[in-house]
């Protein structure tokens, strides 16, 4: 459900405004106080106001009400605003956090600045009842082709949080780099992580670095889904350990952008020792339910070997208490019960995927000609690729996830939507932001809003209003001519 009922007097945030939360002793107090502290930290730089968080008073109130779950689910919220103040209510902490994002968007764009602004700071009067359409609303960052630091990842997390994303998929390994320290196979990161596309220095996350990213994402109510791509996209691993190759010879490190040439040695038992060790250490670091095992573009792995490998890899993930996610080629093997297939095709018509979805395999939709944030906007875009075509802002938004797959796949089979950002041509935060915005905002709306509320004509105007907000946030976004920017 989603309902907006504007009306009544606005509320204005002033130097007298405080943020009210339940008492610390209450079960809901800690979670509400954490979200209140986040809200205050967002608003203080631009407003210059103290915005104290207190359980006794405050015109902006955050309430956790478990009984609201029937009305708005675990991630929804209610927001009411009037002359006397603002109340955000939710059944769960995630809903409260999402309600705070809506409050941010109701304030003037300059509230996002990190230096004092003039104001005033009005919040329109009315009532919003809101909850997401899909449970899984994800963005992926490829840190393997080019490495991004912990701080760069955290910056992207903060930007995604504004649009109510709840999942961060990290593509941690590929031919060009292995980006996570694995104690039992140390050369993976130390040698396999020593370069990147174009031959730069690369880099990797220590286990503490990874824990920091996971914790930071969790503080923004985002679950990290780590991906170790296999059996293809594995040159960095093969270069690090000769025994993972069928001929026992380690290939050189790779800094190009071709795909499909590498494969773990499926018949060798050491391969499964390797997979077991990596998954075990990754599962220990990852509190979320999912581990992504890739499985795409395994062109140099014979099909029977691919099927055999994916069966064993899925069993290993399950043995460590995690749910498998794989690219949609997993549907051509034997997805285990509960495994999630991530669709990245361009037509919605692949019969293997349709059959798997109808048999109970949930799908995350990432059609490359819609949601791939690394596709060029047009021929003159200085960054990105174009193998799936050019993806202008309307192209990225103007489709319905619930009706996308052909062959009678019902909306109930769709777990959610993901916007992946591959990094063959992307190496800085400015690059990330130029390619992600505005398209990441559209993918977020497709994952959150009900089908009846979608539509390009209304969306383009709402999107235009985000431009000044991104400018205040220091986001170098693509100013598409399809959008009437203010």
User: Annotated catalytic sites, by residue?
Assistant: 297
* Residue 204 near residue 267 (C-beta atoms within 8 A): no
DSSP letter, residue 111: G
**CA-to-CA separations, 198 to 201, 395, 425, in angstroms, rounded:** 9, 30, 9
| Degrees to nearest 5, angle at CA 120 with 118 and 124 | 150
- CA separation for the pair 301, 55 (Å, rounded): 60
Tokens representing 226? 């780590």
Of 169, 2, 188, residue with least CA distance to 102: 2
- CA separation for the pair 133, 447 (Å, rounded): 6
- CA separation for the pair 212, 151 (Å, rounded): 10
* Residue 419 near residue 366 (C-beta atoms within 8 A): yes
For residue 351, what are the contacts with CB-CB under 8 A and spacing of at least 6? 407
Of 144, 234, 232, 152, residue with least CA distance to 195: 144
The total of other beta-carbon atoms located within 10 Å of residue 133's CB is 22
SS3 of 143, please?
A: coil
């Amino acid at each position: 459900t989603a309902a907006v009922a504007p009306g009544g007097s606005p509320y204005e945030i002033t130097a007298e405004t405080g943020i009210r939360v339940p008492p610390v002793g209450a079960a809901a107090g800690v979670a509400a106080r954490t979200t209140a502290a986040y809200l205050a930290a967002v608003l203080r730089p631009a407003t210059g106001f103290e915005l104290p968080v207190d359980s006794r008073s405050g015109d902006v109130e955050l309430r956790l009400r478990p009984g609201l779950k029937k009305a708005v689910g675990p991630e929804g919220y209610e927001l009411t605003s009037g002359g006397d103040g603002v109340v955000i209510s939710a059944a769960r902490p995630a809903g409260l956090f999402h309600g705070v994002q809506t409050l941010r968007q109701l304030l003037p764009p300059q509230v996002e600045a990190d230096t004092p602004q003039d104001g005033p700071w009005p919040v329109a009067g009315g009532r919003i009842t809101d909850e997401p359409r899909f449970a899984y609303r994800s963005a992926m960052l490829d840190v393997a082709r080019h490495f991004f630091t912990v701080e760069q990842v955290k910056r992207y997390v903060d930007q995604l949080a504004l649009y109510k994303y709840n999942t961060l998929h990290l593509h941690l390994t590929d031919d060009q780099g292995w980006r996570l320290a694995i104690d039992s196979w140390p050369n993976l990161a130390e040698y396999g992580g020593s370069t990147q596309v174009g031959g730069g220095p690369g880099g990797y996350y220590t286990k503490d670095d990874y824990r920091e990213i996971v914790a930071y994402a969790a503080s923004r109510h985002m679950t990290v889904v780590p991906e170790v791509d296999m059996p293809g996209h594995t040159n960095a691993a093969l270069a690090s350990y000769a025994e993972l190759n069928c001929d026992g010879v380690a290939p050189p490190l790779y800094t190009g952008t071709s795909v499909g040439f590498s494969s773990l040695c499926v018949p060798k038992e050491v391969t499964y020792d390797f997979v077991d060790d990596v998954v075990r250490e990754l599962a220990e670091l990852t509190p979320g339910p999912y581990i992504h095992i890739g499985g795409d573009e395994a062109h140099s792995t014979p099909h029977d070997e691919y099927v055999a490998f994916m069966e064993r890899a899925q069993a290993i993930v399950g043995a460590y208490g995690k749910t498998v996610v794989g690219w949609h080629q997993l549907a051509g093997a034997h997805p285990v019960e509960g495994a999630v297939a991530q669709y990245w095709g361009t037509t919605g018509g692949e019969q293997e995927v349709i059959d798997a979805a109808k048999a109970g395999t949930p799908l995350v939709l990432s059609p490359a000609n819609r949601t791939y944030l690394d596709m060029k906007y047009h021929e003159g875009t200085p960054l990105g690729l174009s193998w799936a075509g050019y993806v202008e802002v309307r192209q990225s938004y103007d489709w319905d996830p619930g009706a996308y797959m052909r062959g009678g796949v019902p909306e109930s089979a769709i777990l959610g939507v993901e916007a992946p950002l591959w990094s063959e041509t992307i190496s800085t935060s400015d690059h990330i932001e130029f390619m992600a915005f505005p398209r990441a905002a559209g993918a977020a709306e497709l994952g959150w809003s009900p089908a009846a509320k979608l539509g390009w004509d209304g969306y383009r105007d709402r999107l235009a209003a985000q431009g000044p907000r991104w400018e205040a946030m220091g986001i170098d976004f693509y100013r598409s001519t399809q959008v009437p920017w203010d």
